[in-house]
Structure 1
Amino acid sequence: MDDSTPQRDAAPVSLAVSTVIFALKADNEGEAASLRLPLVRRIREPFAGRWALPGGPIDPSEGLERAAGRHLLDTTALSPTYLEQLYAFGEIERSPGDRVVSIVYWALVRSEEAQLAAVGENVRWFPADELPLLAFDHNAIVDYALWRLRTKVEYSRIAHAFLGETFTLAELRNVHEAVLRRALDPANFRRQMESSPAIIATGEHLSGGRHRPPKLYRYNGAVELTDRGPLARS
């Protein structure tokens, strides 16, 4: 059957990568750290002048994760050790005039790593829950990343990405409280963590304090940081 309905030419689809980087940072020494992420100010249209997630187009000769890492390094000078694919965002109208599908990664960095970011006029850290209106659909992307982070932190080793190799239970609880944005009962948290196979007491104590030094723990290397699925194990 002949269909005489005129067909609109489909716009070509291009691929890009973006990355949500989370770190625990405090404005001033002695303040409780909160969840922050770096944003990059766009210098060209569309959305010139607005803040956006670090990212850009994918070179045909490079893999997705490599492209995400390259754009991160170029725009923020950060090279996170933890980088995980988050989701693909491809709504038809998400980019004015073009059809762009973004493969979004997320990265978690420790405070000392976050200090290496190239902060300036066009790169700035923002509170993760108090963002301005971002370019494209990047507010929705950050909301999704926050939901994933807060879901994962209670059942996986993901908090390890914010800590050093060894840590106290108080430091671990501070990470959970900063991510979840609520206070946790110290005694209940201690019982839960000490009964979990995810962490192991090192037999050492934190030195330098005036009071009884707290125990140091490390994560159990036999437990994966996150479940990256069967592709990561092949």
Structure 2
Amino acid sequence: MPHTYEFPRPALTVDCVVFGFDGSGLQVLLVKRGIEPFLGAWALPGGFVRMEENLESAARRELEEETSLREVFLEQLYSFGEPGRDPRGRVVSVAWYALVRPDQHPPKGDTDASDAAWFPIDGLPGLAFDHERILAMALDRLRGKIRYQPVGFELLPKRFTLTQIQALYEAILGRTIDKRNFRKKLLAFDFLIPLEEFTGGAHRPARLHRFDRRKYDALAKRGFLFEL
């Protein structure tokens, strides 16, 4: 026999902040809403949680349905439940953030999203609902995360230069980093493997590197602090 609740139940949604790095700047994936409310406005990918699915399954389903993204790094961010945040009624949203490479994940709007596109972090349009607040919190989380756990696996190619990983950190932090100090601290952790491969022209070509996943996982398990 179904149970009758004494109190009304709020609706539950998921919203996803998808960060990307194009080699020079940090980007965010947005969708253009194809339905009301906020018809035609840009927003974070997301939607309502179905009765039979858990939160992560809902987030991954909405990402695939609205942007065609699949099998991406995804981590829970925070829950947003301010009354009035959604004009449709009392809606609580559990936010997630993802890290991907834009060149490997070209977006394609679908279901209730009429379009999907990458935007530079410093050139975003106005967002629907309270998505600007969600995005700001996700960016703060990412900036804090890179101080104790490198994120290059998701945002860099498999082979990269030290200049590329420094550009990534500068894009996330929004400021320049001293080159010599950054490389000294990064190489001290011993989870970067120098390769006998180079990129660039004949004058001072840059050596390529890759992550040693085994060493990285062991170090991450013990915990470390990468202060910049």
Q: TM-score, normalised by structure 2?
A: 0.82
Are residue 193 (structure 1) and residue 186 (structure 2) matched?
Answer: yes
Q: Counterparts of 2:204 and 2:70 in 1: how far apart (Å)?
A: 37
Alignment check: 8 A CA contact 2:67 2:108 kept: yes
Match 1:67 to one of 58, 63, 66: 58
Matched, 1:219 2:211: yes
Structure 2 residue aligned with 1:4: none
1:21 aligns with 2:18: yes
Q: CA deviation at 1:11?
A: 4.3
Q: Which amino acid aligns with 1:118?
A: K
Q: Does 1:209 align with 2:209?
A: no
Match of residue 75 from structure 2: 84
Q: Tell me the equivalent position of 2:226.
A: none
Kindly indicate whether the alpha-carbon contact (under 8 Å) linking 2:33 and 2:114 is maintained by their aligned counterparts in 1.
no
For the 8 Å contact 2:11–2:90, the answer to whether it is kept is yes
Mark the runs of 5 or more structure 1 residues left unpaired by the alignment.
Answer: 1-8, 26-31, 229-234
Counting aligned pairs with the same residue, the percent is 40
**2:108 is equivalent to residue 118 of structure 1:** yes
Change (3 A) 1:113 1:15: same
Matched position secondary structure for 2:142: helix
Distance change in 2, residues 1:36/1:225 (3 Å): farther
User: Taking structure 1 as reference, are residues 100 and 121 closer, same or farther at Cα in structure 2, changes over 3 Å only?
Assistant: closer
RMSD: 2.5
**What's the CA shift string for 1:150-181, capped at 9, x where partnerless?**
11122212233111223221111111111112
> Matches of residues 62-211 of structure 1 in structure 2 within 5 Å?
62-114=53-105, 116-118=106-108, 122-197=115-190, 199-207=191-199, 209-211=201-203
Structure 1 pair 152–135 and aligned structure 2 pair: CA distance change class (3 A) = same
Which is bigger in relative contact order (C-alpha 8 A, separation at least 6)? 2
Instruction: Write the deviation string for residues 31-73 of structure 1: whole angstroms up to 9, x where unpaired.
Output: x621111211122222222111111111111221121111111
| 1:205-228 deviation line (CA, Å, top 9, x unaligned) | 325631344333332424349979
- Kept in 2, the 8 Å contact 1:80–1:109? The answer is no
